[in-house]
């Protein structure tokens, strides 16, 4: 593995996605550095979820190359692809918890499927991840219907952490949360980055998260990555898509664009 590959978690070159005559991405290039929080942003229809599904290997692009943790995804056989997927953790937007299982059972499920551990050790490992996600002990034996929105997000995060992923994918992690809970989740994301050294790739439209909890912001527009940099850098860019996005978002944020800058 080259030095560049060792420093990058994800490399995408020339990516194309199309559905019939509709082209979502064309010639998209992306580099995600290891150990950073990267926020993927862009307007509605820019293909954020489509790109995420490519990166977690749920769908294949029409063209282009994707390297995850130094591995060429397209060159992998079925078993190698599964092994690579086990190095990734995914927190879906609505949590996607199994409603018939408790929080503990949800977090234990990946360990039961993929880790050859006795039940006692699976429980201990799951409890550790639940604690890392910031859930109180009294939530462990609750079912998803008994959880608040913030607790559901944290339970889903704990499950995503179950197998000690090297890359953590978060789909709209603060969506639907009140401002206090959303900022607490941002702090948790940064704490996980620092404590675990995990690469975190999140889709978000939360301007406070974009400015306060991102090392790198990637902006999708014109069927490609239009710009990448810090939030402050992107907010000063002249492209009309960026100016419209940040000026519109600033109006609904708890912090104005001027105060965020």
Residue 238 domain flag? no
How many angstroms separate the CA atoms of 60 and 66, rounded?
10
Residue 117 domain flag? yes
pLDDT tens-digit series, residues 232-245: 999 999 999 999 89
Residue 119 domain flag? yes
Over range 172-178, report the average pLDDT.
91
pLDDT tens-digit series, residues 187-240: 999 999 999 999 999 999 999 999 999 999 999 999 999 999 999 999 999 999
Residue 125 domain flag? yes
pLDDT of amino acid 168: 97
- pLDDT confidence band for 99 (50 / 70 / 90): confident
- pLDDT confidence band for 89 (50 / 70 / 90): very high
Q: Does 116 or 180 have the greater pLDDT score?
A: 180
How many angstroms separate the CA atoms of 169 and 202, rounded?
6
Q: Does 9 or 251 have the greater pLDDT score?
A: 9
pLDDT tens-digit series, residues 10-56: 999 999 999 999 999 999 999 999 999 999 999 888 999 999 999 99
pLDDT of amino acid 112: 85
Residue 151 domain flag? yes
Report whether pLDDT(6) > 60.
Answer: yes
- Phi, psi dihedral angles at 187 (to 5 degrees): -65, -35
Report whether pLDDT(118) > 50.
Answer: yes
Residue 182 domain flag? no
Residue 202: CA atoms inside 13 Å, Cβ hemisphere, count? 30
Report whether pLDDT(253) > 50.
Answer: no
Instruction: Compute CA distances 89 → 86, 94, 115, 137, 225, whole Å.
Output: 7, 15, 15, 23, 23
Report whether pLDDT(165) > 70.
Answer: yes
How many angstroms separate the CA atoms of 20 and 45, rounded?
16
How many angstroms separate the CA atoms of 218 and 228, rounded?
4
Residue 26 domain flag? no
Contact between 98 and 92 (Cβ < 8 Å): no
Q: Which domain holds residue 144?
A: 96-165
pLDDT of amino acid 5: 52
pLDDT of amino acid 15: 97
How many angstroms separate the CA atoms of 45 and 75, rounded?
29
- pLDDT confidence band for 260 (50 / 70 / 90): very low
Residue 173 domain flag? no
How confident is the prediction for the chain on average, in pLDDT? 89
pLDDT tens-digit series, residues 64-80: 999 999 999 999 999 99
Q: How many domains does the chain have?
A: 1
Over range 74-96, report the average pLDDT.
90
To 5 degrees, how large is the angle CA 108–CA 113–CA 119?
50
- pLDDT confidence band for 257 (50 / 70 / 90): very low
């Amino acid at each position: 593995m080259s030095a560049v590959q060792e420093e990058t978690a994800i490399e995408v070159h020339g990516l194309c996605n199309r559905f019939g005559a509709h082209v979502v991405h064309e010639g998209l290039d992306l580099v995600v550095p290891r150990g950073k929080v990267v926020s993927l942003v862009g307007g509605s229809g820019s293909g954020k979820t489509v790109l995420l599904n490519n990166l977690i290997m749920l769908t294949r692009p029409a063209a282009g190359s994707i390297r995850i943790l130094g591995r060429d995804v397209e060159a992998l056989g079925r078993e190698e692809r599964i092994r690579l997927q086990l190095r990734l953790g995914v927190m879906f937007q609505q949590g996607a918890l199994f409603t018939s299982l408790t929080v503990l059972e949800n977090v234990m499920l990946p360990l039961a499927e993929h880790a050859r551990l006795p039940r006692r050790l699976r429980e201990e490992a799951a409890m550790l991840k639940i604690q890392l996600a910031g859930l109180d002990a009294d939530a462990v034996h609750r079912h998803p219907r008994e959880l608040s929105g913030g607790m559901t997000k944290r339970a889903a995060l704990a499950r995503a952490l179950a197998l000690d992923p090297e890359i953590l994918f978060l789909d709209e992690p603060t969506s639907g949360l009140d401002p206090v809970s959303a900022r607490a989740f941002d702090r948790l994301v940064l704490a996980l980055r620092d404590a675990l050294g995990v690469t975190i790739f999140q889709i978000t439209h939360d301007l406070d998260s974009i400015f306060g909890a991102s090392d790198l912001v990637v902006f999708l527009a014109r069927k490609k990555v239009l710009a990448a940099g810090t939030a402050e850098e992107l907010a000063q860019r002249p492209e009309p898509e960026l100016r419209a996005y940040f000026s519109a978002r600033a109006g609904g944020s708890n912090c104005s664009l001027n105060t965020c800058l």
